[in-house]
Structures are given as structure tokens and as C-alpha cells.
Amino acid sequence: MFWGRALQRKCSSVLRVHASLSRWPPRAEAKMKKQEFLAPGTDKKISLEKTARKAGALVFGVADPDQFTAAPEGRRPRDLLPGAKSVIVIGGAKPRAGDWASPKFQHMELSSTNDRITAIAMKLSHTIEREFGYYAVTTPPGVDEGQQPFLSISLAAELAGCGTKSLAGTILSPDHGFVYLAVVITTLPLPFDKPLDTPVCPAKPCIDMYEETGYTPCTAVCDASSGGCLSGKIDNGQWQDRYYDAARCTARVYNHWIPSFQKILADSLDEPDKETRRMKVNSSLFTRTLWSMTYANISQGQCFECIRVCPVDAETRKLG
Ligand code: SF4
Ligand code: SF4
């Protein structure tokens, strides 16, 4: 199934119909935060935010570990690091304009991983331990038992003011849209940021489009009522009735990688004919799946059609 391309075709028509969608937010509102955190009790002039930004992070914020009450017990910052005082969230490493322009969705397995932003988190953890002498743990981006994350990175990002959840569950930064996220939990006490006052999603152009057509750009390309994953009602500029079919989305996002490996493995084990089994194991789908797992082993997907049409930070997905 070539789901990505089918959606791409539908999305192109949405973009044609709604070509008047302007950039959101307007450039003047897209400000960078300028916080500087210095090591307490030392005269070392090291700013963790500058360190992260210099390494490529676009988004930086700090959450209060005491605010993770919405997370289940066992999955809060101090469950990973006793005595944690701060939760640092960084974001970036988003696909480039060329990635959005490419008709070969397969190449996204290179651009759509969170390993680059996790590497920056590791750098921050090293800096905190070596330069400041406090403990630091980079939250593992994978899942723990029961397919549960070690810590909800989305919740951390919201608490740190790095963005808010979009309809499809990904965090949208008001300035940079869709970004990959990583979290460092540390015993270093830092000043906290606050959650954003206004949800990034639905953006103003989406509210206008919804009032005109009953759809937002993302619900138009992945409409739950016609085999997609998204739907909802906007009332007073807010999502009231939101629906996201996470299981269906996962099956479409991860054409390769671990879910594909599990599917092909189960299918091959059930295959009684030796020659057919051999063909399945040597198929290009299984080979690509193994490639995707071995050289981009953290997280990746091949469907981003809801983000492709999202007006938040849309201008950086297209040059000129
Ligand atoms: S990534 Fe977005 S467009 Fe693709 S299946 Fe999931 S919700 Fe739909
Ligand atoms: S297009 Fe983006 S901002 Fe608009 S409703 Fe969808 S996810 Fe939210």
C-alpha cells in the first residue's frame, strides 16, 4: 500500500484549494527565547540554552518535575532520576525543505529520526555532569514495558512551554511547528518555564478554513470519516471533539521499522511453504525494514501528510 502518496495527492489538492493559507504565526511573533542558565555556586559562564542552540536545537525550555502529576506513577522525572530538580526539553532536527519537496517518501527514514536531537540531549547531559557536577539523565526515546514511554516527552514539552499538542498528538512549537524532542532530567536546579497560554493548534488559518469548509488542512488530508485518522469540531477557536486513531496512524507512519519487522516476522513464521517463506524474508520490504532498523534505529516514519499541510511554520517547508 502506498498510503503516503495517496495522501500526498489529496493534500496537493487541499493546498491548491487553500493556497491562500498564510504563514502562521506571522513572522513578527516568532521570537527566540533568550534565557541563560549559569551554574549555581560557580563563576562558569556556561549557558545550557546556548550550548543546545549552538549544537542545532531550535527550541529550549525547562519544566518543573513537581508538575508531572498527569503522568502515571513510575513514569515521572524522579522515577528516572531521584532528586531531580529540573526537566530540560529541547526540540529541532525537523525535516528540511528538500525533504518535503522529494517525491520519494522512503528517504524520510534518514531525515525523520530523533537521533540527532537525542545526541544534543546527550551533549547537555555531559555538560551538566562535567561542568556543573550535577546528575543528568537523557530520557530514552523508545518505550519501556507495556509499550509505555519512560517519560511522556509530550507532557514535558507542554510543561516547559515548548509547544502544545496538535490534533494528531505531535507537539507543535509556535515558532517552529513540528520538531523532534528530547528530554534531560537533572538534579541541577534551573528556573522553570511555564506552559503556553494559547494552544498552537488549531492555528488561526485552520479555524478560518474550518468555518468555511468544516475541515482543517490536516482533517481534510486524513479524514477519519473516509478511512483516515483525524476529525474534530472547533468551537470558540478550540478543539472540542477531537479524534485521533493512533493505531491506524502508526500502521501508516511506520511502513518499515519495528512494526513492519514484527508484521513480516509473524507472517513468515506462519508461512508453511519454505520457498514462499524465503521470498518473504528476502523481499525488498523486509530488506528495507532491516535497513531502517539498523541505521536509523530510534524513531522514524514515512507519513507526515497532516504536518505537510499544517500552516504552523509552513514557510520553512518550502524555499522561495
Ligand atoms: S501521520 Fe498524520 S496524515 Fe499520516 S496517517 Fe497519521 S494522522 Fe494521518
Ligand atoms: S493543520 Fe496543524 S494547526 Fe491546523 S488543525 Fe491541523 S495540526 Fe492543528
Q: Mind listing the pLDDT tens digit for each residue in 270-310? A: 999 999 999 999 888 888 788 777 765 555 667 889 999 99
Share of the chain above pLDDT 90, in %: 55
CA of 90 to the centre of ligand 2 (A): 22
Q: Is the pLDDT of residue 23 over 60?
A: no
How far is it, in rounded angstroms, from Cα 259 to Cα 155? 24
Q: Cα 156–159–161 angle (5° rounding)? A: 110
The atom number, within ligand 2, closest to the CA of 230 reads: 6
What average pLDDT does the chain have? 84
Q: Is 203 in the pocket of ligand 2 (CB under 6 A)?
A: yes
Ligand closest in space to the Cα of 177 = 2
- The grid coordinates listed for 182 are 528530547
Question: Measured in angstroms, how far is the CA atom of residue 219 from the centroid of ligand 1?
Answer: 9
CB 61 within 8 A of CB 157: yes
Residue nearest to atom 6 of ligand 1 (CA): 249
Q: What pTM was computed for the model?
A: 0.81
Pocket probe mutation, ligand 2, options 173, 201, 221, max atoms within 8 Å of Cβ: 201
pLDDT at site 192: 93
